[in-house]
Amino acid sequence: MAKRQPTFACQACGAVTNRWKGKCEACGGWNTIVEETGAMSPMAGPVATRPSRAKGRIFALEGLSGETKEAPRMPSGIGELDRVTGGGFVHGSVILIGGDPGIGKSTLLTQASAALANQGHRVAYISGEEAVAQVRLRAERLGLGQSPVELASETNVEDIIATLSQGRPPALAIIDSIQTMWTETVESAPGTVTQVRGSAQALIRFAKTTGTVVILVGHVTKDGQIAGPRVVEHMVDAVVSFEGDGGHHFRIMRAVKNRFGPTDEIGVFEMSDQGLREVTNPSELFLAGRDLATPGTAVFAGMEGTRPVLVEIQALVAPSSLGTPRRAVVGWDQSRLSMVLAVLEAHGGLRLGQHDVYLNVAGGLRISEPAADLAAAAALISSMSGAALPNDTVYFGELGLSGAIRPVAQAAARLKEAAKLGFATAVMPNPRGDAKERMPLAASSMGHITDLVAGIAASRPRGKPALRRSEG
Ligand code: TYD
Ligand code: MG
């Protein structure tokens, strides 16, 4: 047998080269290239392992119209989880779930596996990180010690597949985590790109042939990406991220990719001493402990998928001692903040050049909707002017570069949720013609950012600096 050439693979993107380099040319990552024996070529997939045939098999081509059954689903009974998967796990699908260490991935999956096992499904939980005793201890703490989940602490993919293939294939198999797995078909060390890809490939093949739902737990790197090759994300049917931060009890589950369901739904959980509890009304949670009388906070009526979520946006605008004032944002987009600040300067008359600006979405939620522009602007104006916003008002609307406040989707759902939670007024864009009647609460429609600035400045307490005062 010929001696294998050493190959080098980027641990971030999976690109393969024939010599070591400091920088990966494919993804631009530094120090990500590592020598791997027996690395596959970038194009190697199931194709490369298939025996070559002189002639292809003839298969029938079909039309778009035809009879197709809805993918059979297996609901876990945990409502927030089923919402994210799109109504339950699809048989034979593979889900990659990523999240920071200690966020609660193993806890959630223990709860999900127990729920399915209690329904009578065969469920296997394979931990490559913890001993069986540890997994058992966690299950006991969660009050799930009696669930008929089959446990093992294993890392060899061939052994795992051989074991699971015995008898009735499991309905659900959890692999915690994919980075600890290794396959004999690849020579490199566990955790390397080639091993992760090889192991994932074998497990995906197992899922597709047996109809078992396979959930792969993936580690997350410092910058929030699922560690190991991005290619695994392309190979699986769904990628779910589990987010939250240490300082808060709630955890948000978000589908990043989903071949069998929506990607804009979120599931909200709260970490308690009995594991993860479902949060069916996230708005109440995100608004709990709201500071009512301080300037600089505004309630945003947002949407996460089909679900309205009310959340508090906090801003702090303070004179800066730095040459270049600081702009920091948590839970929102930095460039979106820059844009809102530019619009406030250009069209709202605010002078922010000598001020530090901090913006925070309370509760650790991450917002990506442009509809939050108006709430962020209101919070910023309020902080700068020292005028607290009325605490029974919600804000939503997109800000254009011209200062125009533009309509956003699903206004009715936002208003309904706000009314349900006791809010009396909504500051929002001018509604489109047909949506004017039947408002569940008083709407204060605005067409331009100047209306918002004027409205807030009018409620400014005496003795506070005027907005238009120039600095220095
Ligand atoms: P874990 O599921 O082990 O996290 P991951 O698998 O994502 O690394 O969760 C660990 C954290 O969750 C740990 O800090 C303890 C906490 N926890 C609770 O607060 N309550 C519980 O009932 C359980 C099981 C864990
Ligand atoms: Mg874990």
| CB 251 near ligand 1, within 6 Å | no
Query: 4 vs 430, which has greater pLDDT?
Result: 430
Q: Does the CB atom of residue 141 touch ligand 1 within 6 A?
A: yes
DSSP 365-433: -----GGGHHHHHHHHHHHHHTPPPPTTEEE--EEPTTSBEE--TTHHHHHHHHHHTT--EEEEEPPPG
User: Which atom of ligand 1 is found nearest the CA of 142?
Assistant: 22
* Ligand nearest, relative to CA of residue 99: 1
In angstroms, the CA 50 to CA 205 distance is 13
| Residues 92, 97, 102: CA angle, nearest 5 degrees | 145
Closest C-alpha among 404, 346, 395 to residue 371 = 395
How high is the pLDDT of residue 189? 80
- Indicate if ligand 1 lies below 6 Å from the C-beta of 105: yes
Q: Which of 390, 420, 406, 407 is closest to 309 using CA atoms?
A: 420
pTM value is 0.77
Residue (of 125, 127, 103) closest to 214 by Cα position: 125
Tell me the average pLDDT across 408-437.
84
Q: How far is the CA of 102 from the centre of ligand 1 (A)?
A: 6
Q: From the CA of 110, how far away is ligand 2's center (Å)?
A: 10
Binding site membership of 134 for ligand 1 (Cβ less than 6 Å): no
Q: What span, in angstroms and rounded, lies between the C-alpha atoms of 397 and 371?
A: 5
Instruction: Confirm if 78 and 90 have CB atoms less than 8 A apart.
Output: no
pLDDT of residue 26: 84
Ligand 1: atom nearest CA of 100 is: 7
User: For 205-240, what is each residue's pLDDT tens digit?
Assistant: 999 999 999 999 998 766 656 656 567 888 999 999
Name the band, by pLDDT with cuts 50, 70 and 90, for residue 47. Answer: very low
| Closest-lying ligand 1 atom to the alpha carbon of residue 110 | 2
CA–CA dist 238, 234 (Å, integer)? 9
Residue 98 Cβ < 6 Å to ligand 1: no
What is the tens place of the pLDDT at every residue in 169-190? 999 999 998 989 999 988 888 7
Counting from 1 in the atom list of ligand 1, the atom nearest the Cα of 105 is 7
Bond before 65 cis per omega within 30 degrees:
no
Quick one: which of 267, 212, 2 has its CA closest to 90? 212
Residue predicted with more confidence, 434 or 375 = 375
Nearest CA to ligand 1 atom 15: 102
- Write the pLDDT tens digit of every residue in 141-169: 999 999 999 999 999 999 999 999 998 99
Q: What angle do CA 393, 395, 398 make, to 5 degrees?
A: 165
- Which-ligand-closest: CA of 128? 2
Average pLDDT score over residue span 197-212: 94
The mean pLDDT value for 426-446 works out to: 79
Residue nearest to atom 25 of ligand 1 (CA): 275
* E strand spans, 274-325: 275-278, 297-304, 307-319
Ligand 1 atom with minimal separation from the 176 CA: 6
Range list of H helices, 20-167: 46-49, 79-85, 105-118, 132-141, 157-164
pLDDT digits 0-9 by tens, 359-398: 999 887 889 899 999 999 999 999 999 999 998 999 999 9
286-302 mean pLDDT:
87
Instruction: Say yes or no: CB of residue 271 within 6 Å of ligand 1.
Output: yes
- In the prediction, which pLDDT does 28 show? 85
Measured in Å, residue 90 CA sits from the centre of ligand 1 at 26
* Token code pair at residue 467: 């907005």
What's the chain's average pLDDT?
Answer: 86
What was the pLDDT predicted at 290? 81
Q: What percent of the chain has pLDDT over 90?
A: 52
Q: Is the pLDDT of residue 19 over 50?
A: yes
Interval between CA 118 and ligand 2 midpoint (Å): 22
CB distance 336 to ligand 1 below 6 Å: no
